[in-house]
Every structure is written in structure tokens, then in C-alpha cells.
Structure 1
Amino acid sequence: MAEPPARQPWPAPPPPQRPLPGTRLWRTLRGWRRRGLLTIRRLGCGLLVVVVVVVAGLVLLDRTLDGINAMFGEEPVPGSPLDTVAPTTPASSGSERIDLITRRDRLIIGVQEMPGLVEREQATREYSGFDIALAALIARELGVDPADTAFKPLPDGYRESALVNGEADLMLGGYAITEARRTEVGFAGPYLRSPQRLAVPAGNDGSGADVLAAGTVCTAEGSPTALALAPRLGERLITRGSLDSCARLLGSRADALAGSALALSGQRAQDPGAFELIGSPLGETRYGVGLPPGDEVLRHRVRDVLRRAVEDGTWARLYAQYLGTPVPAPPRIGG
């Protein structure tokens, strides 16, 4: 008798399958549709509610930011039609040169050394003097730290072009005001006046009148003294680039030097006892602050510094400190 076939085991149930992504959401949406929840009207209302909520949220956020700005932000510009915040970039001063000084945060001043006005210490190479002290006052007025002021030695004959082409912002150090220079550059001042004098070798018995009558006089070319003496002396007037050059001719080709008392005192300091002043004053030299041509804003700012120095006593104090006593009456600072 044949054996009954072996009993086959029941197949294992298939593993549960996960619904495809989105299937559950799709079934839910179909269910809502069958119940009438996803009609066009209901969808439109729902979308409108979402828009209203978003707009309300943005309005609240804007008001919140306004409140924060009011507490911690910058003040609006008074009178601005747009109520805007003041710009961080400074507005123009009305002077191209002042704006340039502000951008570079440095004031460049052309100078010539003259005892009492501009002197340089050989050891430290630092400048001091009456004009240097005035330069510090001007620097502060222009918003520059006096320590950031650069002094640039310049020879005669080049100072005007340095102001014109921007190599120097101002000119100090015995910069005499003359009509010829006024045609090229501007001036603030005069801040200092000095009589024009004659100087002869020490021990000379001649008088100022004798020198002017028959002697030969040397002075700096283009100086106020040269302009004053030219009609009186004619060919007996010798001019050189500086009083230093004239001093080398004294006693040989020149019988006397001529210049402002301040300039001659500088020559005497270099060679004490070599010569002495004689005669009455020949005229007056006026010293001013040289400026770029046509810059009225800068001229007024520098002029106001000089006027304040005279009015508050700073001018007299600096004169006594650097030029000695007695202190003369200060000059009238022109407009």
C-alpha cells in the first residue's frame, strides 16, 4: 500500500508592506473630499485665512523692529522728509582742501626754519617755535591731532607751487605777505609784523643813512625789503635766494644786510657778534599763513583761529615764550 504524500507546510505570510510615500496623505485628502471638506469655496476661504495671518505677522514684526530701532538705533536727521538716519560719511565742508585733510587725517605744512618761528631740534628732529604752536591750533580747528601734522621743509621760490599743486596744505615759517604772492596763493593774517632793518659788520662806524646813501645792500630776492629798497638803491641792491646767501657777501661785495628784524635775528643767532643792527626801520614785513588759492572756506577757518588766539591772550603768551619780551601789540587779523 502506497504511503500518503508528505504534508506540505503552510507558506509564511508576506511581510507587511509600508505604504508608498504620499499614499496616506492622498487617502486622507480623498476622504475629506468625499465628506465635502475640500470644495473650491472652502479652499479659497482657507487660503484667505493663511494670507491674512501672514500679513498680520509681517506687520507685527515691522512694528517690533521699529521699537527696537527707536530704543537702540541712531536718531533721525531733523527735518528730513524721509525721516532717514544720519549718514556716517561726513558732509562736504565746502573746501576741497579741508575735505582732503579730513580724509587723510593729516595736515601737511610747508615751512622754512627761522629762529623763534620754526626751529628743529637736531637730536630729536622735532619742530618748535611760534609758528609751530599756531599750527597746532589750526590743526585742532580742522579736526586733526597736532601730533599728526607733517612739516615739510621747502626752499624759497617753490612754496607757492607747493600750495597750488597740493604738496602742502598751508605755509608757515616766516612766509611774508607780498602783492606778487597774492596773485598766486591765498593768505590768512597777518599774524605777525616785523620792522625792516639794516645790519652791518660789528664795529662798523657807518650809519644807516651812510649805507643807504652810498653803500651796497644785500637782501632776499622777492622779499618785502627788496621791494622797498629797489627804488632807493637801484643797482646798489643785491638780491640772493636767502639771507644766508647774503650773509656770505657781507664785508666783501655787500656793505650791509637788509631784512625783517625777525629774519636778521636768525642770522645773528647763527653767528653771534658778527654784525649789528643800525639805523631806523625801513618799513614793515607782515607774515601770514599761506593757503591754496581761492579757498575762502579754509581762509576763514584759519583766520578765526588767529583771531581767537589774539583775543584770548594765546598770541601774547606764545610771543613771550618763543620771541621774548616786551610783547608788542598784536596785529589786526584781516578779514
Structure 2
Amino acid sequence: MRIRVLALVCLGAVLAGCGQDPEAAQNQLPPAPATPVAPPPASSDGTSVELSTSPTLVKIQQRRKVRVGVRVDAPPAFLSRDQTGDYQGFDAEIARDLAHRIGLAPTDVQFRRLPATQLRDAALSGDVDLLLGGEADDPRLAKVGPYAITDTERNLVIKSDDRLLAGELQRMLDAAVADGAWQRAYDKTLGAAGIQARPGS
């Protein structure tokens, strides 16, 4: 009996020394695993698609139409309309090739024939996305190209505040030369009319 009492006293001392109640110890839940902390969102450094895409190209793709300003007095080999109202000529071929490279169909080009006095205002106001064969005679306009060199240089003209568009259009013009699209457009139009021309790049 004395041994049993002594054992119980020792057990109580051990438990008291640990500072734990055996019943409480049985009812304790295991510690919850540590919750991983999610890393903070990466700060934008200007390389996302949204920040590195031309706003003009975004608008063109959203409306599914590229609006191209052309001179009403353009030589027929560069631009003319057939009996059905379709546009023909080198500039028309270049415009459709650009539309294709943007991700549109050739029929998604909307030509706007403009007198020389209205070209600048149409580009600046956003009535057209680009001009073919226009003049960048205003600091708010910029030239891309040339897309053809004959007796003069023919350039694309866009608003100068969209540098990303300028870079994209230049890459498209370079690609048209590299993959033969420029030459096919030339052979079909200017070449057939006996007009000498070469690409600008």
C-alpha cells in the first residue's frame, strides 16, 4: 500500500513539474500547420501585354476594322475603284496585307478617299488609323516606312503619339518584303503598269 501511494505521489510530482494536466493534455488539438504566405503581386514593369501593345492596334482589333485614308487623287496604279466599287492598286494590296498581319480579313479594310487638304485632320482626329502615301507635315504626325520608293517615297502616316504602332507597322512592312507579299503586290499592280518601284527596307 505504501508503495502504491509513493508511486502516485511521484506521478503527481512529475505531472506538476511538466505543468500539464493529463486530462487537458488529452483534449488538446494538434497545432495547426503554418499557413504559407502568398508572395505580394509583382509590380508592373511595363512588359505586360496591356502595357506593351499599341492602343491604336487594340482599337482596330476590337472594332474588327482598319480605317485607311488614301488620297483621292492617287494614281490609278496605286489606288482605283473597279465597276463593283472594290478598291484596286498597290496601296489597296498593301492595306489588305497589313490587315491580314493585324489579324483581320482583307474585307476588314475600310478605305476613306480624302482630298489632300483633309488628310492631316483625318489622321489627327482619329477618323482614320493610318494614311497611305500621305505627308507628315505636322509634328503630331509620324512617317513609317517607306513602303515603296518610286520617284518619291511613299510612307504610312500615323499619329506621332503611338510609337508602339509605328514599330508594329514597320515590322509588318519588313515582313511583307521578307515573305514575298510586297513583290506579289508590286507585280500585280505597279509592275503590270510599267511603274518602277522598290521596297523601302
TM-score by length of 1: 0.42
Contact (CA 8 Å) 2:140, 2:161: kept in 1 or not?
no
Distance 1:309 1:141 in 2: 9
Residue matched to 2:176: 309
Alignment root-mean-square deviation, CA: 2.5
The 2-side partners of 1:149 and 1:128 are apart by 12
Conservation of the 8 A alpha-carbon contact between 1:316 and 1:327: no
- Residue by residue over 1:228-261, the C-alpha shift from the partner in whole angstroms, topping out at 9 and shown as x without a partner, is xxxxxxxxxxxxxxxxxxxxxxxxxxxxxxxxxx
Q: CA distance change for structure 1 residues 182 and 310 in 2, over 3 Å: closer, same or farther? A: farther
Equivalent AA in structure 1 for residue 127 of structure 2? E
1:119 aligns with one of 66, 76, 80: 80
Q: 1:265-303: per-residue Cα shift (whole Å, max 9, x none)? A: xxxxxxxxxxxxxxxxxxxx2110111222111111111
Over the matched positions of the two proteins, sequence identity in percent amounts to 30
Q: For residues 117 and 189 of structure 1, do their structure 2 counterparts lie closer, same or farther at Cα, with a shift above 3 Å needed?
A: same
| Deviation of 1:93 (Å) | 5.1
Q: Corresponding residue for 1:99?
A: 58
Partner of 2:142: 186
Q: CA–CA distance in 2 between the matches of 1:295 and 1:116?
A: 30
Q: SS of the residue aligned with 1:183?
A: coil
Counterpart AA for 1:153: R
Supply the distance in 1 between the matched residues of 2:94 and 2:190 (Cα, whole angstroms). 13
| 2:200 matched residue in structure 1 | 332
SS at match of 1:304: helix
* Higher Cα Rg, which structure: 1
Q: Could you tell me how far 1:95 is from its partner in structure 2?
A: 1.8
Q: Distance in 1 between matches of 2:54 and 2:80?
A: 30
Q: What's the TM-score once normalised by structure 2's chain length? A: 0.67
**Which consecutive unaligned segments of at least 5 residues does structure 2 have?**
1-38, 42-48
Q: Map Cα deviations across residues 18-39 of structure 1 (whole Å, 9 max, x no partner).
A: xxxxxxxxxxxxxxxxxxxxxx
**Contact 2:144–2:166 (CA under 8 A) maintained in structure 1:** yes
- How far apart are residue 156 of structure 1 and its match? 0.6
Partner of 1:13: none
Seen in structure 2, the aligned counterparts of structure 1 residues 132 and 93 have a Cα distance that, compared at 3 Å, is: farther
- Tell me which residue corresponds to 1:298: 165
Aligned pairs (5 A) from 1:252-263: none
Contact 1:164 1:292 in 2 (8 A): yes
Residue 154 (1) aligns with residue 114 (2): yes
Rounded to whole Å, the distance in 2 between the matches of 1:332 and 1:96 is 26
Aligned residues: 153
1:224-243 maps to which residues of 2 (within 5 A)? none
CA contact (8 A) 2:150 2:197 kept: no
Cα gap change, 1:114/1:327 in structure 2, threshold over 3 Å: closer, same or farther?
A: closer
Q: Does 1:166 align with 2:126?
A: yes
Q: Is the 8 A contact 2:148 2:200 kept in 1?
A: no
> What residue ranges of structure 1 are gaps of 5+ in the alignment?
1-79, 83-89, 196-284
In 1: Cα distance, 2:97 partner to 2:172 partner: 7
Matching of residue 129 in structure 1 with residue 85 in structure 2: no
Cα distance in 1, alignment partners of residues 170 and 187 from structure 2 = 21
Within 5 Å, which residues of 2 pair with 1:1-335?
91=50, 94-112=53-71, 113-121=74-82, 123-172=83-132, 174-175=133-134, 177=135, 181=137, 183-195=139-151, 285-324=152-191, 330-333=198-201
Query: Aligned with 2:160: secondary structure?
Result: coil
